[in-house]
């Protein structure tokens, strides 16, 4: 399963978001640190969920990292996140 789908699945299961967009930005980083031929190294996530209500920015980022787990986090080089509560 492609990494974008794995990320989407984990985030949908953990947060039931009303908005979720996961973009593989790897090609924009060709020649930079962490780039892997074939992509799947740099991602941008936009997620909106009521589960983030009342959480600080840091707590939201930690929650996303925990939901993705060490297996996914360990395989990617960069993860940009735009996280909002409903």
The secondary element (H helix, E strand) that includes residue 14 is helix 3-15
What does each C-alpha distance from 1 to 7, 9, 38, 46, 85 come to in angstroms? 10, 11, 14, 20, 28
Q: What is the pLDDT of residue 25?
A: 87
Tokens of 13: 């299961």
Return the DSSP state at 18: S
Q: What is the pLDDT of residue 34?
A: 62
What are the pLDDT tens digits along the chain (86 aa)? 899 999 999 999 999 999 999 999 876 656 666 666 666 788 999 999 999 999 999 999 999 999 999 999 998 888 999 999 98
Q: What is the pLDDT of residue 1?
A: 84
């Amino acid at each position: 399963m492609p990494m974008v789908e794995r990320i989407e699945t984990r985030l949908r299961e953990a947060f039931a978001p009303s908005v979720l967009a996961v973009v593989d930005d790897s090609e924009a980083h060709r020649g930079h640190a962490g780039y892997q031929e074939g992509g799947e190294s740099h991602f941008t996530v936009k997620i909106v969920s009521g589960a983030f209500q009342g959480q600080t920015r840091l707590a939201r980022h930690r929650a996303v990292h925990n939901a993705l787990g060490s297996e996914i986090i360990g395989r990617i080089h960069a993860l940009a996140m735009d996280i909002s509560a409903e």
